[in-house]
Amino acid sequence: MNLDVREMELAETSLVIDYFYSSSIEQLDLMGIDPTRMPTRPVWAGLFKTLYELPLSERAALLVIWRLDGRPIGFSSCDRIVFGNRAHMHLHVTEPELRGRGLGTECISRSIDLYFERLRLKQLFCEPHAYNTAPNRALQKAGFRYLKTYKTVPGPMNYHQAVTRWLFER
């Protein structure tokens, strides 16, 4: 079993778009996603193209791909980046049959290293939907510290929801 965690290339960003568009309404709800707020596929692809044209220190996001034996199994992204200080991480195991097997925790750990190195971070936050137990457990196992549970609209595709704030510091 060969697990590869690395920065996602522009040509691989369709994984992100396809994941959200192929997710069931129930899965989107578990992630707190309002499907009416998702950009269209062409708009989303254009946003990624614009993002990848910028130098890393000016990007609004950094994407990481998770591959097992050469095939994509998930991804992570960071946004709300304050280069050299902090960022917010998101995580998604895209293959349902691989969820709950510990791979997410390993992928998160490797993603943390990449984010801290590439973005020169001191703090990394993650705020999954409070009722989505899998990412909350994985973050705890990966060494994140629980801060609080509160209600907010975590991102442009989300509805108002309870989230759990986790912190990883170095």
- Tens digits of per-residue pLDDT, 69-111? 999 999 999 999 999 999 999 999 999 888 878 888 999 999 9
Would you tell me how many other CB atoms lie within 10 Å of the CB of residue 68? 18
CATH H superfamily, domain 3-121: Gcn5-related N-acetyltransferase (GNAT) (3.40.630.30)
Task: State how far the Cα of 34 lies from the Cα of 59, in Å rounded to an integer.
Answer: 25
- The reported pLDDT for the residue numbered 43 is 98
Task: State how far the Cα of 34 lies from the Cα of 105, in Å rounded to an integer.
Answer: 26
Consecutive H or E run containing 126: strand 123-126
Q: Is the dihedral of CA 70, 76, 78, 84 positive or negative?
A: negative
- Region 28-39: mean pLDDT is 96
Take residue 110 and report the two structure tokens written for it. 């490797």
Q: At residue 158, does pLDDT exceed 90? A: yes
Q: How far is CA 26 from the centre of its chain?
A: 19
42-57 residue pLDDT tens = 999 999 999 999 999 9
- Tell me the domain boundaries of the chain: 3-121
pTM flag (> 0.85):
yes
Task: State how far the Cα of 140 lies from the Cα of 146, in Å rounded to an integer.
Answer: 7
Contact 81, 87 (CB under 8 A): yes
Take residue 63 and report the two structure tokens written for it. 């994407």
